[in-house]
A and B are shown apart, each in its own frame.
Chain A
Amino acid sequence: MSKVKKTIVYWLLLLPLVVVILFPFGVMFVTAVRPRAELFVYPPRWTFSEFRWDNFVDMWVKTNFGGALINSLYVSVASTALALVLSIPAAYALSRYRFGGKGLYRNFLLVTQMMSPIVLVLGLFRLMVQFGLVNNLNSLVLTYAAFNMAFTIWMLQSYFNTIPRELEEAAWMDGANHFVSMTRIFLPLAVPAMVVTGLFTFINSWNEFVLALTMIRNQDQYTLPVQIFSQVAGRYQVEWHHVMAGTVLATVPVAIVFSWLQRFLIKGMALGAVK
């Protein structure tokens, strides 16, 4: 098959899937900029009379979007930092040293990776009650870091394995100790891997829902997914244009970063995660 013919056939085959994937994005944008009076029209239709960009401003003020945004940013940044700080030495050790219990540690990580928060959510809630961390964003920082660690250690280790040992060995020859070789030679080389891994952790934390819904009861502490959910759930009248404006702002930046990142994920999967 020639490339042109292939292009046509493939796109035709992919078309239904592409349409279904793009449909919610269409719904989001069209609703977010629609005048409120045109939300419930009969018969329902895609078109509307004018672009109401003010919806975004209204939504920001009325739903305390800024506060939730700051909460989400805090939780995501702090949990990513914590996960990285704990993962880097562990990944380095796994990549460079032999030690007793290495296999056991790997299997332990795997089990933590498989445990989803939802199965443990009741136990976690009781744990946070004991420590007085309910309604405290730090409860999310701790749990997100813990649940992401298996992934970050894995990703980092598979990248660390690709950094040649000889560079560090050369530094030792020149009289540097292990600490110096690690901080001066190794870590600068590992920066790209850390950035990519960190961004994935950030996105995971940014999108998490179940734990945030459980631990945070106070409206001022809501993260974005919970804040948007709370505008929909259990309400008789939902301001859908505000909800959709909120989802646009909360998802589009992350989706753009993710689209750029996904090729690293495919590479990382091929390198290590599947193994």
Chain B
Amino acid sequence: MILPSLLLAMFIIGYPIIDLAWTSLQQVSRFGQLRGFNGFDNFAEVFGDPLFYDSLWRTLIWTVAVVGGALLISLPVAMMLNDEFFGRGVARVIIMLPWAISLTMTAVVWRWGLNGRAGLLNASLMDLGIIAEPIEWLATAPLAFTAEILIGILVSVPFTTTIFLGGLSSLPQDAYEAAMVDGAGWWGRFRYITLPLMKPFINIAIVLNVIYVFNSLPIIWVMTEGGPANGTDILVTYLYKLAFRFGQLGKASAISLIMFGVLFAFTILYVILVMRAEKEEGVKEEVSASVEG
């Protein structure tokens, strides 16, 4: 019964991996013809390319900043959404909205919203008297990259909040009641109950987000296409350019393979974390069962 699904996955996901590995060891023409093995020349070329290191460095900044920002915003948001207040349903729908919209569309709209001449962000900031002249947000790399990171955070918040909401709803209420009886304040409850108990969920959110963000092409591609002057390129956009603009297929497949290795490492990390979280949960259940018994 699992065979049909296995076959399709093998065909669509397994085959390209093998093909990439095969290609990365060969000399490839612009048009994708394989011209015989050249050992690890492609990899050597990648590791000798300053643009590769620049993109790698920016990928690191991009991933750490977006994942970190998303976590810092999502935890308090999830805690508020898990509590009762008027309009919670509306707040939940609004917070989840960016998830419903494709990254492409979000990026297209922001590209226009950040337009240096007529962008409505400039309009808003000028109306509020914060700036006097319109700012060209996407014309210089540092500013554009910062804007892209902030948008990356914004679109990662809904998913992260969802994981945290799932975690928060599973926390034992009696622990809080006991802490209140003992006179623990808000910060004490957060520091000594919520945070430790949420740790497995935070770990999972970190790993999953790292995987998604590390791989995310649309925001940067749509807003700046890695420009100006490769100044906002991360690995995925650099890879895409090499493969489909510059026709350097051997080099591109070498980068794909390197990224595949990184992703694989993170996947294994994820499996370990999930297994540990399950074990902890098992322990928790056993403890509560023995207390009740």
Contact = CB atoms under 8 A, between A and B. Distances in A.
A binds B: yes
Interface of A: 3-4, 6-7, 10-11, 13-14, 17-18, 20-28, 30-31, 39-46, 82, 85-87, 89-90, 92-94, 97, 105, 107-112, 114-116, 118-127, 129, 142-143, 145-147, 149-150, 153, 203, 206-210, 214, 225, 228-229, 232-233, 240, 243-244, 247, 250-251, 254-255, 257-259, 262, 265-266, 269-270, 274-275
A14 B77 contact: yes
Contacts of A107: 271
Interface residues of B, number: 99
B8 A149 contact: yes
Contacts of B66: none
Interface of chain B: mostly helix, strand, loop or mixed:
helix
Nearest to B274: A275
A11 B17 CA distance: 48
Interface of chain A: mostly helix, strand, loop or mixed:
helix
Counting from the closest, the 7 A-B pairs by CB-CB distance are A123-B16, A207-B102, A258-B100, A146-B12, A116-B215, A89-B1, A44-B123
A30 B120 contact: yes
Given A44-B123, A112-B9, A4 B118 contact: no
A6 B218 CA distance: 38
A221 to B, nearest CB: 17
Contacts of B244: 125, 214
A270 B260 CA distance: 29
Interface of B: 1-2, 4-6, 8-9, 11-13, 15-20, 23, 32, 73, 76-77, 80, 83-87, 91-106, 108-113, 115, 117-124, 126-127, 134, 154, 157, 162-163, 165-167, 169-170, 201, 204, 211-212, 215, 217-218, 222, 225, 236, 239-240, 243-244, 249, 252-253, 256, 259-260, 263-264, 266-267, 270-271, 274, 277-278
Given A39-B118, A120-B13, A22 B134 contact: no
B108 A42 contact: no
Nearest to B204: A274
A101 B84 CA distance: 45
Residue in B109, B127, B259, B263 with the greatest tally of chain A CB atoms within 10 Å: B109
